[in-house]
Amino acid sequence: MHNNLILKAFEKAGEDEKNKGVKTPSNTSVAKILSDFIDEKENFSIGERRLRDYHNLALKSEDEDINITQQKVVLGLCKYLGYRDYQHFLKENPSEKNINNSNLVAVIRKNKTTIGSIIIVVLMTYFGYDLTKKDCMTWVENSHYERLKCGEESEVKSIKYNKLIFDNLKRIDPDCNYPFFKADGSENLWYGKSAKGELEFFTYYGLHPVTGKTLDPITQYMIDKYICNR
């Protein structure tokens, strides 16, 4: 969904750095420019590390689109690129997938005699792929994600497989010795409430695997009140 947006934002920020005399801007410095801009324009704080994660995921994801869950971040990136909002960005930047789809339609119309064969091949490929590949994941034992085939039954509703979330998001029960913050000061723990209203802690940001609500970054107040005083 937001691959093109984050890639273009990093590209523009890098060019802006070069125009200032920086020969080879680092991803960290580029992410800081975007982070500061979003903080100023949208009054929303997002760490450089999280923006770099989005950027790295967009670079790796050829078949999957990343989803930036914070709407103010999406709006801030759009404004940095000179667009009013995300709809304006999409209008001016049609995705490569949409362009390829348009080209495919044009080819099919031009070669009407082969349209039946094309449909059969596409359907066979789709159903064969869908039946054999584990392209979804589900939350199990209230602790971690496991992969499964899309459409396969599970206790918690399955979602599209996301390698970054799959590898990093776990539920844990931290004690006072847990490394709550990384070396750069960014959060290393997130929290949210379960469907029963119980406080739960996670090793990565994103959505609560069961309730779907956005997880909050840890704060010193939460550490002191709910972890170190337990």
For residue 7, is pLDDT > 60? Answer: yes
Query: Where are any strands of DSSP class E within the chain?
Result: 136-140, 144-148, 159-160, 171-172, 190-193, 199-202, 216-217
Please name which of 159, 175, 171 lies closest in space to residue 215, comparing C-alpha atoms.
171
For residue 153, is pLDDT > 90? Answer: no
Q: Which residues of 115-133 are buried (b: 16+ CB within 10 A; e: fewer)?
A: eeeeeeeeeeeeeeeeeee
Percentage of the chain surpassing pLDDT 70? 82
- On whether the CB atoms of residues 193 and 200 are closer than 8 A, the answer is yes
pLDDT in tens, 54-112: 998 888 875 567 889 899 999 999 999 999 999 999 888 876 555 455 555 555 566 65
Q: How far apart are CA 198 and CA 183, in angstroms?
A: 29
pLDDT band at 116 (very low <50, low <70, confident <90, very high): low
Mean pLDDT over the full length of the chain: 86
pLDDT in tens, 21-45: 988 899 999 999 999 999 999 999 9
Residue 151 has a pLDDT of 82
Mean pLDDT of 148-167: 89
Q: Where are the domains of the chain?
A: 3-92, 96-132, 135-166, 169-230
Residue 99 has a pLDDT of 47
pLDDT band at 229 (very low <50, low <70, confident <90, very high): confident
